[in-house]
Structure 1
Amino acid sequence: MPKGTTKRRPQTLARLLDAALEVFAESGFGAARIEEVCRRAGYTRGAFYSNFSSKEELFFALFDAHAARELERIGRLAARTDDRDLSVARIAALLAHVEPDERTWYLVTTEFTLYAIRDPRAAVRLAAHDARLREEAAALLGALLARAGLRARGDLAELVRVVVALREGALGQSYVEPDVLAPGALAGQFLPFLLDAVTEPADDPG
């Protein structure tokens, strides 16, 4: 990890992460070279290794940054929504929304997932990051449901798994057939049915 902190470090990290996102998306994680990341960022290998110990660590920094942005986006939009308007349909729309630049991240994370499936050590690290993201996403989803007067019938973290599976599976189909299926459209159509099926009024004694 980083050896000390300087005023320039945030800028260095941001440029390395931006460059890595480009290179990983273009070349795939396995074929991506640290030298190319450094070249695009405008830094030497020394600058890279002052901030990251490996290409994997660089990916996980991207993963955590992307996860934080997504959670912040959902939370920000939810905060602007009046409780009276926070229905299952509205929550589903928040979860299904896809930013225009999401295709790049989809390429990067899909490539790394395949890499991790082949490498048990990388799979363990990816699973740990996924678990932390699910924990935060489950807390956010639980809060949204509570504001809507609802609660999940099952485990929230497992529900998040299903939401992610639906969203990412649908995105893959959209990116293969962009003229047929807009990103977010399939998830937006079916997530309301999923959430409606697995939630109940919070005041229901069960």
Structure 2
Amino acid sequence: MTTPIKLGRRGFAGAVLPLLAGACSSPEPNYFTIAPRDGPVLPGGPRIVMVKDIGLASYLDRKEVVRSSEDYKLDIRANDWWGEPLGGLIGRVLVVELSQRLPNCKVYSEAGSITADYNATVGVNIQRLDADRAGSLILAAQVAVEFNRPRRLAARNFTISRPLGTPGTPALVAAISDALGELADGVATLLQ
């Protein structure tokens, strides 16, 4: 025979509150990363290249993925997060992509531990990296390459648009990966 358990107010609260807290907690976030894309291999370029830390528009500098900045408001994916800080992620991917496109160059990141006598430095400012009303990813960036022997500067603004296959975050991140690959193609050309 079982004896009924009597709970006072404190006992009831102690038993029920943990259950309620678990029911109200947010689901575990989805973590995303940008995949490097291969591009055309170019024969020339400086011997040693340093990619400076990426300049990132402040609205993008957050752990959550920004879906859009249209109509004067940010559409932020609350449970879709970048797997690492976005500026560092873009810089890391750009180093990989430039190394593939410029096999005669040694490409390093300013954020890394390697220091060398660089023949060129690459600076990138990302001004926009989100979807527009039409359902396309827009990447707007400024790029400047400074050569030191002989000293000269090459600079260009890029606006790259990629259609989104579906409305979800995976399609957005795939389009970002494609757009950064195209940006790497342009940077590699500037380094010639």
- Give TM-score scaled by structure 2 length: 0.30
Higher helix share: 1
* Higher RCO (C-alpha under 8 Å, 6+ residues apart): 2
- Give TM-score scaled by structure 1 length: 0.29
Structure with max Cα Rg: 2
Higher strand share: 2
